[in-house]
């Protein structure tokens, strides 16, 4: 036993515990969560009319007197089982806003709908994929004696992709401050789209909400150059939301024109700084607007929902943009496992975060995400269902929902999180087994659907 690794010794200890089977049931119920939350407490369910106890649960009867629940982390690099569940919820959330379901009428599929991509502006030339990266005939160099061109044909996995040709010429300050204001820029963009739609229909802008409603779901994705760009599904409804038809003037072409005009027009200004000045924050020149049609012409609804769900679960380690955990000191930035380009962005966040005029931006707090502090996925209230509703529906499906006409008396407290080394080893095996079962079930479904 002494010659075995610590994780193996711990796993053997856990397996020899008389209550191992119940502990394994808890781990399986969490899907093999890598960092479960440990709760202690009790729940008593009473009949609302008679006061009779219907059910009673207490963690004093559990191994270690605690209950394990999912961490619900969306990042696959942190917890793959929970990120997979989050991706599934995101898929259904976005899909419901495209084709209906989850209390959203199927008629939304016939509304004006767009799938748009908004990008960050250029902060300096960076290496990119293609036949040749940045070909130049004159062989000129910048003031720092770095070549302004690159004739290399970079492979998609080349670590140079996204790195600036000249780090000294690159506008790291502009990059960080753009990230810090990207969420506000999106808010201004949505407001401006509504105003342009109203103006094009001959309406007073303040009366737009009485005639139509603009709904959206958007996800942020880091590009190879470590700059965020936004994918969004945009839908035009009547004033009462998904159940209401848009006005006759609300067409996909008019919505497309409004989106294109607003993307080139909206502007946010950074707070004035004696060291930096006041910088304008705009969208980049690259803009992609694709109408979504009910007849299948163009991007498919399921494909769009799957595309958005895929990026929601990506961690910083997947994209090479920052880290999945916050940094608290300058030294942590120096030792972070990131590229030189990303490390410079993190250092820029730290330096700017020390200036009093940028204190409201909390740049040091968000240095691990390169200054971007918005949610990865956001949606308007009327777009579709919510994560909370999807979780409640899943709880009802597995039989854990509250029964009507009962009183629930619950007392819970947090007592810890995570696994011991041996428990983590067993949980990883459980997660792998569950994933294999899902794969085999999916394969069986495909073969049973006609492929013989």
Pairing of strands 280-281, 67-69: unpaired
Which stretches of 276-386 are DSSP H helices? 301-312, 316-319, 330-335, 340-353
CA 123/CA 129 separation, integer angstroms: 18
Residue keyed to tokens 């008593």: 44
CA 247/CA 38 separation, integer angstroms: 52
Taking only the tens place, the pLDDT of each residue in 155-194 is 888 888 889 999 999 999 999 999 999 999 999 999 999 9
Q: What is the largest CA-CA distance in the chain?
A: 89
> Residue 354 pLDDT more than 90?
yes
Q: What is the pLDDT of residue 171?
A: 95
> Residue 130 pLDDT more than 80?
no
- pTM metric for this prediction: 0.85
Taking only the tens place, the pLDDT of each residue in 361-386 is 999 999 999 999 878 889 999 999 88
Return the minimum-mean-pLDDT range out of 54-58, 65-69, 93-97.
Answer: 54-58
CA 222/CA 229 separation, integer angstroms: 6
Among 250, 188, 180, smallest CA distance to 213 is for 250
Q: What is the DSSP letter of 69?
A: E
Distances (CA, A) of 319 to 133, 256, 369: 20, 30, 11
Q: Is 398 exposed, middle or buried (0-12, 13-18, 19+ CB in 10 A)?
A: exposed
Instruction: Tokens for 212, please give them.
Output: 């139509």
452: pLDDT confidence band, cut at 50, 70 and 90? very low
Element spanning 288, H or E: strand 287-291
Mean pLDDT, residues 199-215: 93
Q: Is 54 helix (H, G, I), strand (E, B) or coil?
A: strand
Taking only the tens place, the pLDDT of each residue in 234-281 is 999 999 999 999 999 999 999 999 999 999 999 999 999 999 999 999
Instruction: Tokens for 451, please give them.
Output: 């492929």
Instruction: Tokens for 194, please give them.
Output: 């509504």
Cβ(267)–Cβ(280) below 8 Å = yes
Among 121, 73, 113, 77, smallest CA distance to 95 is for 113
What is the average pLDDT score of the chain?
Answer: 89
Question: Nearest 5°: phi and psi at 436?
Answer: -65, -40
Instruction: Tokens for 200, please give them.
Output: 């094009």
Cβ(96)–Cβ(386) below 8 Å = no
Q: What is the pLDDT of residue 297?
A: 67
Neighbours of 2 (CB within 10 A): 4
CA 27/CA 14 separation, integer angstroms: 12
Distances (CA, A) of 150 to 62, 134, 145, 163, 169: 63, 5, 14, 12, 16
């Amino acid at each position: 036993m002494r010659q075995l690794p610590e994780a193996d010794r711990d796993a053997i200890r856990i397996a020899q515990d008389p209550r191992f089977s119940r502990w394994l049931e808890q781990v399986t119920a969490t899907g093999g969560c890598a960092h479960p939350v440990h709760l202690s407490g009790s729940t008593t369910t009473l009949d609302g009319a008679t006061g009779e106890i219907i059910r009673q649960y207490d963690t004093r009867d559990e191994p270690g007197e605690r209950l394990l629940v999912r961490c619900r982390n969306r990042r696959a690099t942190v917890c793959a089982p929970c990120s997979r569940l989050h991706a599934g919820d995101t898929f259904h959330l976005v899909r419901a806003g495209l084709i209906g379901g989850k209390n959203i009428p199927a008629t939304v599929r016939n509304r004006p709908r767009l799938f748009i991509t908004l990008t960050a502006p250029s902060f300096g030339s960076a290496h990119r994929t293609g036949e040749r990266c940045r070909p130049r005939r004159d062989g000129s160099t910048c003031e720092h004696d770095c070549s302004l061109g690159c004739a290399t044909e970079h492979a998609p996995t080349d670590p140079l992709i996204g790195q600036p040709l000249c780090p000294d010429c690159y506008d790291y300050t502009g990059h960080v401050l753009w990230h810090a204001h990207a969420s506000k820029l999106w808010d201004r963009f949505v407001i401006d789209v509504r105003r342009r739609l109203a103006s094009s229909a001959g309406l007073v802008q303040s009366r737009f909400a009485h005639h139509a409603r603009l709904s959206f779901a958007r996800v942020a994705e880091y590009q190879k150059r470590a700059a965020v760009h936004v994918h969004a599904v945009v839908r035009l409804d009547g004033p009462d939301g998904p159940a209401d038809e848009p006005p006759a003037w609300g067409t996909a072409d008019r919505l497309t024109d409004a989106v294109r005009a607003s993307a080139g027009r909206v502007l946010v200004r950074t707070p004035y700084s004696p060291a930096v000045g006041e910088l304008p924050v705009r969208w980049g020149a690259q803009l992609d607007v694709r109408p979504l049609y009910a007849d299948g012409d163009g991007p498919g609804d399921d494909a769009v929902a799957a595309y958005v769900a895929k990026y929601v679960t990506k961690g910083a380690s997947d994209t090479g943009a920052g880290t999945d955990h916050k940094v608290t000191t300058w030294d942590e930035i120096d030792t972070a496992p990131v590229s030189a380009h990303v490390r410079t962005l993190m250092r820029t966040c730290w330096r700017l975060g020390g200036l009093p005029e940028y204190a409201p931006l909390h740049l040091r707090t968000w240095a691990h995400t390169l200054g971007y502090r918005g949610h990865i996925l956001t949606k308007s209230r009327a777009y579709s269902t919510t994560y909370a509703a999807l979780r409640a529906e899943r709880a009802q499906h597995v039989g854990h929902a509250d029964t009507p006409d009962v009183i629930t008396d619950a007392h819970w407290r947090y007592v810890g999180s995570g696994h011991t080394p041996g428990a983590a080893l067993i949980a990883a095996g459980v997660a792998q087994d569950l994933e294999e079962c899902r794969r085999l079930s999916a394969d069986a479904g495909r073969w049973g659907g006609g492929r013989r």
